[in-house]
């Protein structure tokens, strides 16, 4: 009986995540900025949030750990590449486009150090999404959606939110942050 229950749980939970993670075709995009920053991946998420001076920020970011994140080790020089898509895209399509150019999704550490170095970004009133850190998956409309950090600038203040990337994209203008790590 336990094996049957385990098999059913695997089908209900694990298989949809695998199907969600499959890549899609590369959508048309342009690179709107390439900005160099130094990131210290050894800092805690709480320290990174304080460093970015986010106001307001989603307290779940420091109360919970991400369930999935890409990160480096120690201090690294990275280039933050901001992608803008011609049409609305899913987070999977955005990530596929990043990887097609040898980039990887930027994460919460990249967001904090980016906000510190560029306190007055030119992309005001647009969400800058960091797909490299996932706090949770939300089941909605028979799909799993990633809940990821996103920067938004309002009244010259960086705001950091956790957003489900799909479902909102028809109403909100997203740009996506990717990183290219320096060759050592």
* 14 occurs within a structural domain: no
* 31 occurs within a structural domain: yes
Instruction: Render pLDDT for 31-81 as a digit per residue (tens, 0 to 9).
Output: 999 999 999 998 888 888 888 888 767 788 888 877 777 666 789 999 999
* 12 occurs within a structural domain: no
Instruction: Render pLDDT for 91-146 as a digit per residue (tens, 0 to 9).
Output: 888 899 999 999 999 999 999 899 888 876 565 667 889 999 888 877 767 777 78
- How many independent structural domains does the chain possess? 1
74 Cβ contact list (under 8 Å, min separation 6):
40, 41, 42
* 93 occurs within a structural domain: yes
The CATH number linked to 161 is 3.10.100
* 4 occurs within a structural domain: no
Instruction: Render pLDDT for 154-170 as a digit per residue (tens, 0 to 9).
Output: 777 778 888 887 655 55
Backbone phi, psi, residue 50, to 5°: -65, -40
Q: Which domain holds residue 150?
A: 25-181
* 81 occurs within a structural domain: yes
Distances (CA, A) of 88 to 30, 48, 152, 172: 13, 30, 18, 9
């Amino acid at each position: 009986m336990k094996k049957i229950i385990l098999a059913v749980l695997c089908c209900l939970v694990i298989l949809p995540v695998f199907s969600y993670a499959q890549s899609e075709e590369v959508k048309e995009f342009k690179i709107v900025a390439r900005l160099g920053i130094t990131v210290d991946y050894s800092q805690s998420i709480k320290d990174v949030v304080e460093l970015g001076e986010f106001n307001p920020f989603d307290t779940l970011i420091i109360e919970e750990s991400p369930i999935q994140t890409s990160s480096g080790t120690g201090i690294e020089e990275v280039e933050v590449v901001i992608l803008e898509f011609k049409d609305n895209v899913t987070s999977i399509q955005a990530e596929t486009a990043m990887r097609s150019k040898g980039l990887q999704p930027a994460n919460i550490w990249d967001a904090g150090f980016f906000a510190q170095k560029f306190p007055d970004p030119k992309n005001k009133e647009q969400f800058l999404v960091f797909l490299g850190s996932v706090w949770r998956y939300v089941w909605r409309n028979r799909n799993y959606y990633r809940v990821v950090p996103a920067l938004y600038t309002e009244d010259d203040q960086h705001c950091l939110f956790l957003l489900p990337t799909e479902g909102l994209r028809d109403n909100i203008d997203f740009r996506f942050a990717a990183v290219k790590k320096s060759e050592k």
